[in-house]
């Protein structure tokens, strides 16, 4: 099976966890880039990347790279590509463009030039052209134009990989599934400790945690991937990957709670749809009044950031969260993501780690609080005595 370059796109801050996931799949020449990781692999690796990578948004297969100095050159180079290798007349296509170049004020113009090149090539050869369908195309083509450098790729994923397929209900601010999985992997958790999300909303972090702990591939619930529409789709090969034996034993606890009964109902629906009702427990509960459901666990949570709250309410909420953690959750490791600097300060605990991430357009800090028994100072003294 021939090998080729593959590019996995991700969210800012998740590049290194994605590179670790890619290395674990056995890929070669793994290179961390900006919001992406490139690597070398064959068709099997490309299918596996789509099916197994928790922190990838898209898996692209570059088919041409060239320099352009004006808009016509983009059209000319795009027209030289033998599109019949990738696209048949009966299939629809769409172009997705990322452009940072003075040549095009708008990425839509770059998409149009490539679309025209493909349509004209087919029309000149056959008198007909494949149809364009922006919403649900058979084949997606990606244009990446950075200054003068252009890469044209086939998008092997189709719909973004954060659309796992298990979500049937969402609250007001569900976290992106790729971000949720990335946060969990950044903490180093793979099921070692019991897991709690006390502000779980529609349950995304819980479901991603259960999938990690049980070894369920993130592509398991998807109905389709882009590569299934390609002329070279190898159904037998993908069937072997899909039906592989990945699941692990996990007998730990994964518990979610939320103050909102509506969110817990949504979380229950999503958990049931992911066939994880036996793994994830859910309850309506105000975190501020919560007693730990187990000892020495990990908390990973995504509280409100305060966009729809008064500034005073957000600092009060985070102060109460900090007090709850300090007074009742000694022995836990708590990870909190938020875009609210005031909120995070109000927790009143010194973070052991801070990681910069984005939740959509919001710059966030993902902070780890180690909740020692006794004061932090005591634990340092204990460590000194042991040494």
Ligand X SMILES: C[S@@+](CC[C@H](N)C(=O)[O-])C[C@H]1O[C@@H](n2cnc3c(N)ncnc32)[C@H](O)[C@@H]1O
CB of 172 to ligand X, least distance (A): 7
Structure tokens belonging to residue 281: 């427990």
Vertex 55 angle, CA 49 and 57, to 5°: 75
Q: From 104-112, 223-231, 282-290, 328-336, give the range in contact with ligand X by CB under 6 A.
A: 282-290
Structure tokens belonging to residue 64: 């041409």
Would you say 107 or 338 has its CB closer to ligand X?
Answer: 338
Strand 298-301 relative to strand 195-197, pairing? parallel
CB of 220 to ligand X, least distance (A): 19
Q: From 105-113, 128-136, 280-288, 367-375, give the range in contact with ligand X by CB under 6 A.
A: 280-288
Structure tokens belonging to residue 56: 């990838």
Contact residue for ligand X among 41, 130, 158, 174 (CB under 6 A)? 174
69 half-sphere exposure, CB direction, 13 A CA radius: 0
- Examine residue 263 and tell whether it contacts ligand X (CB under 6 A): yes
Alpha-carbon distances of 293 from 117, 297, 339, 349, rounded to whole Å: 61, 9, 28, 22
Pair 37, 5: CB distance under 8 Å:
no
CB of 328 to ligand X, least distance (A): 13
Would you say 50 or 359 has its CB closer to ligand X?
Answer: 359
Would you say 191 or 303 has its CB closer to ligand X?
Answer: 303
Would you say 107 or 257 has its CB closer to ligand X?
Answer: 257
Site string for ligand X, 70-89 (x = CB under 6 A): --------------------
Would you say 304 or 343 has its CB closer to ligand X?
Answer: 304
Sign of CA dihedral 211, 217, 218, 221: negative
Contact residue for ligand X among 258, 335, 343, 349 (CB under 6 A)? 258
CB of 152 to ligand X, least distance (A): 35
CB of 360 to ligand X, least distance (A): 11
CB of 292 to ligand X, least distance (A): 14
CB of 302 to ligand X, least distance (A): 4
Structure tokens belonging to residue 202: 């529609």
CB of 246 to ligand X, least distance (A): 24
CB of 9 to ligand X, least distance (A): 21
How deeply is 243 buried, as exposed, middle or buried, from its count of CB atoms within 10 A (0-12, 13-18, 19+)?
A: exposed
CB of 293 to ligand X, least distance (A): 14
Contact residue for ligand X among 42, 98, 101, 260 (CB under 6 A)? 260
Taking the C-alpha atoms of residue 230 and residue 314, their distance in angstroms, rounded to an integer, is 49
Taking the C-alpha atoms of residue 382 and residue 87, their distance in angstroms, rounded to an integer, is 66
DSSP letters, 248-285, are: ----S-EEEEES-HHHHHHHHHHHHHTT-TTTEEEEE-
Would you say 13 or 201 has its CB closer to ligand X?
Answer: 201
Report which residue's Cβ sits closest to ligand X.
Answer: 201
Contact residue for ligand X among 220, 237, 259, 269 (CB under 6 A)? 259
Taking the C-alpha atoms of residue 267 and residue 247, their distance in angstroms, rounded to an integer, is 23
Pair 366, 336: CB distance under 8 Å:
yes
Alpha-carbon distances of 231 from 58, 63, 158, 225, 261, rounded to whole Å: 20, 15, 15, 14, 48
Kindly identify the residues of this chain, within the stretch 189-248, that bind ligand X according to CB under 6 A.
198-202, 204-205
Task: Tell me, by CB under 6 A, how many residues bind ligand X.
Answer: 21
Kindly identify the residues of this chain, within the stretch 123-162, that bind ligand X according to CB under 6 A.
none
Kindly identify the residues of this chain, within the stretch 296-355, that bind ligand X according to CB under 6 A.
302-304
Kindly identify the residues of this chain, within the stretch 284-303, that bind ligand X according to CB under 6 A.
286-288, 302-303
Would you say 170 or 296 has its CB closer to ligand X?
Answer: 170
DSSP letters, 165-202, are: S------SSPPPHHHHHHHHHHHT-SSSS-EEETT-TT
Helix (H) / strand (E) element for 236: namely helix 235-242
Positions touching ligand X (CB under 6 A) are 171, 173-175, 198-202, 204-205, 258-260, 263, 286-288, 302-304
């Amino acid at each position: 099976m021939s090998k080729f370059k593959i590019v996995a796109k991700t969210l800012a801050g998740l590049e290194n966890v994605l590179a670790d996931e890619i290395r674990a799949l056995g890929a070669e020449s793994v290179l961390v880039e900006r919001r992406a990781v490139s690597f070398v692999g064959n068709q099997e690796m490309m299918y596996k990347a789509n099916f197994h990578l928790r922190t990838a948004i898209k898996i692209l297969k570059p088919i041409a790279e060239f320099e352009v100095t004006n808009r016509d050159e983009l059209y000319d180079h795009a027209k030289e590509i033998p599109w019949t290798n990738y696209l048949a007349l009966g299939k629809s296509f769409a172009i997705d463009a990322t452009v940072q170049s003075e040549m095009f004020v708008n990425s839509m113009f770059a998409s149009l030039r490539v679309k025209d090149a493909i349509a004209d090539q087919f029309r000149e050869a056959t008198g007909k052209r494949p149809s364009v369908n922006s919403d649900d195309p058979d084949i997606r083509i990606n244009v990446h134009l950075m200054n003068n450098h252009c890469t044209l790729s086939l998008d092997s994923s189709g719909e973004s990989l954060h659309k796992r397929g298990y979500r049937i209900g969402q609250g007001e601010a569900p976290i992106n599934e790729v971000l949720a999985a990335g946060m969990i992997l950044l903490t180093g958790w793979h099921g070692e400790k019991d897991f709690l999300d006390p502000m779980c909303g529609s349950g995304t972090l819980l479901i991603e945690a259960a999938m990690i702990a049980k070894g369920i591939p993130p592509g398991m619930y998807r109905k389709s991937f882009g590569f299934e529409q390609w002329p070279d789709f190898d159904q037998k090969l993908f069937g072997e990957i899909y039906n592989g034996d990945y699941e692990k034993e996990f007998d730990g606890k994964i518990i979610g709670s939320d103050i909102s009964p509506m969110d817990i109902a949504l979380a229950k629906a999503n958990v049931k749809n992911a066939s994880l009702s036996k793994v994830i427990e859910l309850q309506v509960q105000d975190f501020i009044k919560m007693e730990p459901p187990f000892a020495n666990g990990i908390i990973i949570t995504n509280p409100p950031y305060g966009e729809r709250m008064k500034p005073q309410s957000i600092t009060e909420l985070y102060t109460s969260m900090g007090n709850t953690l300090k007074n009742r959750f000694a022995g836990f490791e708590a990870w909190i993501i938020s875009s609210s600097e005031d909120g995070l300060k109000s927790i009143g605990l010194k973070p052991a780690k801070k990681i910069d991430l984005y939740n959509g357009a919001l710059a966030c800090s993902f902070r780890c609080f180690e909740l020692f028994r006794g004061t932090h100072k005591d634990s340092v003294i204990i460590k000194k005595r042991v040494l």
